[in-house]
Amino acid sequence: MITVMRAAALAAMAALCLSPSTASAFAPPPAVPDTAPIGVAVSLLPVADESRAGYDRSLFKHWNAGANPADGCDTRKEVLIAEAVLAPVVGARCTITGGSWWSYYDETTVTAAGSLDIDHMVPLAEAWDSGASTWTPARREAYANDLGQDTSLVAVTARSNRSKSDQDPAEWLPPSASALCRYAAEWTATKLRWNLSVDQAEQDRLYFLAAGCTDTTVTWTSAP
């Protein structure tokens, strides 16, 4: 009798585990963003020496099908659509015409999508130096196409992006003074999201910027 009861109980438990509604009830909750004043956020960044050894840009597969492969847009175009100040017309195969964008690095309005670069807030080479060299190819691809946090990728003028190149804030900052607090916050948020380290000069510059950005907060969600 006990054996029969136990079997029935196990069967009931199995049915419960297989129930879609029950499975969804036990699904992990959506990630909740963390927020901290910029100075506190900078203090959370691990400090480590950097190494460029072995880096190759091709190790980060980028501009893939993006968040919605069905719309025919790659990651670059998804960012252009999301960040447009005036929405462009999106045609077949994600052809973009019209629209306008604000490049906050240099306070420039751009009306031709082809004049914009999509900047990795923390450049691929800098990410490699700061921890991505140990990642799997799949994680590097996820980083290079990160649409899960608005601060990871930003549409800016090609001129400003190429001036920045692969430099960190100790080496390059946006030419617009009004961009500095936002830039420091978005840089910090990206490194926190992906658990990337900073070198000492980089941390010192971020602390220097944070001292002049006391009303600025950093918001980030840890990458899956």
pLDDT digits (tens, 9 = 90+) for 162-200: 999 999 999 999 999 999 999 999 999 999 999 999 999
Task: For residue 61, give both structure tokens.
Answer: 């597969």
Total tally of structural domains belonging to the chain: 1
The whole domain housing 44 covers: 32-220
Instruction: Specify if 14 maps to a domain.
Output: no
Instruction: Specify if 11 maps to a domain.
Output: no
- What's the DSSP call for residue 88? P
Nearest residue to 147 via CA among 196, 80, 88: 80
Instruction: Specify if 189 maps to a domain.
Output: yes
Q: Which residue has the higher pLDDT, 27 or 122?
A: 122
Q: Which pLDDT belongs to residue 70?
A: 72
pLDDT over 60 at 9, yes or no: no
pLDDT over 90 at 69, yes or no: no
Q: Where are the beta strands (DSSP E) in the chain?
A: 34-37, 89-90, 96-97, 101-103, 108-110, 116-120, 153-157, 217-220
Q: Give the type of residue at 162.
A: R
Q: Which pLDDT belongs to residue 66?
A: 67
Instruction: Specify if 24 maps to a domain.
Output: no
pLDDT over 60 at 33, yes or no: yes
Which tens digits make up the pLDDT trace of 78-90? 999 999 999 999 9
Which tens digits make up the pLDDT trace of 90-136? 998 899 999 999 999 999 999 999 999 999 999 999 999 999 999 99
Q: Which pLDDT belongs to residue 29?
A: 58
Strands 101-103 and 108-110: antiparallel
Phi, psi of 217 (to 5 degrees): -115, 155
Sign of CA dihedral 64, 67, 72, 77: negative
Task: For residue 172, give both structure tokens.
Answer: 């390059």
Instruction: Specify if 47 maps to a domain.
Output: yes
- What's the DSSP call for residue 173? -
Q: Which residue has the higher pLDDT, 12 or 213?
A: 213
Which tens digits make up the pLDDT trace of 202-211? 999 999 999 9
Q: Which pLDDT belongs to residue 25?
A: 46
Instruction: Specify if 26 maps to a domain.
Output: no
Instruction: Specify if 9 maps to a domain.
Output: no
Instruction: Specify if 12 maps to a domain.
Output: no
| Average predicted confidence (pLDDT) for the chain | 88
